[in-house]
Structure 1
Amino acid sequence: MVKRTRFDAEPCPVARSVDAIGDWWSLLIVRDAFDGSRRFGDFQRGLGIAKNILTARLRGLVDAGILDRQPAADGSPYQEYVLTPRGRDLFPVVVALRQWGERHFFEPGEPRSELLDRRDGKPLAPLEIRAADGRRVEAPETEVRKVPEGE
């Protein structure tokens, strides 16, 4: 069996985040949790994922503090998976991926799911990165200050 590379001790926030999310199945599970899926069967039907893979990914998301297991709200003997505050903080990530995909992988007028504001039924404005003073910032206007080797 191939050993998975771990990034949980890396000084890079992107590497640690990827380590916690794991893979595309995990991110799609988070997406479905935002869409209201809560039970194992909901995730399995919605994603068409094999049960053993889903079990492993749900366990990983619970272990990473992204999802929590709790008794079913309807009083049935089932368990439900709910987003924790850490998991809910992934909302901008999911929206950013969605908007990037809309821009780059759909032809104009091609049918696709839409993320709408419940209040007015309109699509969300494109996400923008802002500096501390409020101005819009693009990638070339930023820099990463890396941790010196050995620290």
Structure 2
Amino acid sequence: MRWSEIRNEHCSVARTLSVVGERWTMLVLREAFNRTRRFEDFQQRTGAPRPVLAERLRTLTEDGVLRRSRYAERPDRYEYRLTEKGLDLYPVVVSLMAWGDRWMAGEDGPPVRLTHGTCGVTTTPRLTCPTCGEPVHARDMRVSR
């Protein structure tokens, strides 16, 4: 199978990777969640080559993860904002960050911390069962088809 055909698989993980599986995409999303909006700022904060970044922003917009809005004319300038579909990727980004904080942070520890806006506590969000509230771990789950 070719990578370009992965969105046709009967698998939600494969279909999701067809949108977010390119190596620069998660860094673009990280910045979008950090309220980066403009091309130059995405480029500076991710280090992505300009043509690669332009392609990532274009495909994320086409896939409905970002929306493009003009903020200036002559020349036309655009900013990118997360859509509802994009905002739903927040747990994915936070989970990757938590894994990286645990396994890749190094001696200095995690580079950033998350503070919950409602209670003001610095925290690491976790995946929990919506029914019982217990943390969800891979060994606790079963797959049904």
Higher relative contact order (CA 8 A, sep 6+): 1
Match for residue 149 of structure 1? none
Identical aligned residues as a percent? 35
Q: Compared with structure 1, are the counterparts of its residues 132 and 118 closer, same or farther at alpha carbon in structure 2 (3 Å cutoff)?
A: closer
Tell me the distance in 2 between the aligned counterparts of 1:120 and 1:108.
Answer: 29
Q: Compared with structure 1, are the counterparts of its residues 126 and 68 closer, same or farther at alpha carbon in structure 2 (3 Å cutoff)?
A: closer
Q: What letter corresponds to residue 26 of structure 1 in structure 2?
A: T
Q: Is 2:22 aligned against 1:23?
A: yes
Tell me the distance in 1 between the aligned counterparts of 2:112 and 2:124.
Answer: 16
**Post-superposition shift, 1:84?**
0.4
Normalized against structure 2, the TM-score is what? 0.85
Q: What letter corresponds to residue 138 of structure 1 in structure 2?
A: H
Tell me the distance in 2 between the aligned counterparts of 1:115 and 1:136.
Answer: 19
Match for residue 48 of structure 1? 47
Tell me the distance in 2 between the aligned counterparts of 1:58 and 1:132.
Answer: 37
How many pairs were matched up? 142
Tell me the distance in 2 between the aligned counterparts of 1:136 and 1:41.
Answer: 39
Stretches of structure 1 that go unaligned for 5 or more consecutive residues are 147-151
Normalized against structure 1, the TM-score is what? 0.82
8 Å CA contact retained: 2:98, 2:124: no
Stretches of structure 2 that go unaligned for 5 or more consecutive residues are none
Comparing 8-17 with 123-132, greater Cα deviation is found at 123-132
Match for residue 35 of structure 1? 34
Higher strand share goes to which structure? 2
Match for residue 91 of structure 2? 92
